[in-house]
Amino acid sequence: MSAYNNLALDQAANDTAANFVREKIAEIVKDPEKARLLQPNNHPIGSKRICVDTDYFATFNRPNVTLVDIRSNPIEEITENAVRTTAAAYQLDALVLATGFDAMTGSVAKIDIRGRDGLTLNAKWAEGPRTYLGLMSAGFPNLFIITGPGSPSVLSNMIVSIEQHVDWISDCLDDMRKRDLDTMEATTEAEDKWVAHVNEVAHTTLYPQANSWYMGANIPGKPRIFMPYIGGVGAYRQICDEVAAKGYDGFVMAGTARRQRAAAS
C-alpha cells in the first residue's frame, strides 16, 4: 500500500493492485476455490488489513488444513469435539476463538462515563463517536482520550500516536496549572467542525467502502462510521500543535478553584 501513493484514493489503481495480489494468491494456492475465498474480492485492497505473513497462503495447500467459509455456511453449534456449520461438522482437538474486538470505542463504552447533566458518553455516541481532535468530547470536561476516534490511532504506528497524545495532554495540563485553570472542555462548534473534517477526508479515500472494523462493521448494531483520522500523523500533529499555540483554540478552560478562592476572600 505504500509502494504507490494513490492506491487508497483511486479505484482503478486499487483494482490493478488487487488483481496483482489475486493472481499471486492463485499461483500459491493450488485449489481454485480456496484461492477464490482467500482473494480480496469484496473490498478495495488495503481497506482491510492485508495478510502478508510468511507462508500464510501456502498453508492452505497442506492436506491437514481445511478452509471453511462461514459466510456461506455459518457456525450453528460448538460440540464436545467439533464445530458444526450448516454444511458439516469439523472435528478438532483445540478451539481458538478469534471473535474480533470493538475498536476505538469499545474500551470506553464498557465504562459508565457521565458528563454534564448526567449525559452518558454511550448515549452521546449512540449514532457514532464525536470528538474534537480525538482528544475530548463536548460535554465531558477533563475527560482526555488517548488515540480515540477522530485521531490517526489505528492507521498509524500506535506507539508514535500514543506518545504524541500523551505529550500534548501533559503539556496542556502543565499550561493549565501555570494559569491556575482546572477545567477544560471541547466546544460543540469545534467538535462539529472536526467530525465533518474527519468524514470529509475519509470519503476522499476508498476505505469507507469496506465492511471493516475501521467502520465498526464487526460489531452488530454499531453505527457504520469511519472512525480514524486518515489525514496522516504529520498533518494531525501539526493541527494539534497549532491548536495549542493559539491558546487551545476550540476548548473552553476555566479556573473553578480560583473563583472559589476569590469568593471566599
pLDDT tens digits for the chain (265 residues)?
A: 888 999 999 999 999 999 999 999 999 999 999 999 999 999 999 999 888 778 999 999 999 999 999 989 999 999 999 999 999 999 999 999 876 689 999 989 999 999 999 999 999 999 999 999 999 999 999 999 999 999 999 999 999 999 999 999 999 999 999 999 999 999 999 999 999 999 999 999 999 999 999 999 989 899 999 999 999 999 999 999 999 999 999 999 999 655 555 555 5
The answer to whether 131 and 104 have CB atoms below 8 angstroms apart is no
Instruction: Tell me the three cell numbers of residue 17.
Output: 493492485
Cβ(31)–Cβ(40) below 8 Å: no
DSSP 73: S
Overall CATH class of domain 106-264: alpha beta
Of 20, 81, 73, 83, nearest to 46 (Cα)?
20
How far are the Cα atoms of 6, 67, 212, 230 from residue 46, in angstroms, in the given order?
11, 22, 11, 13
Residue 111 CB burial class (10 angstroms; 0-12, 13-18, ≥19): exposed
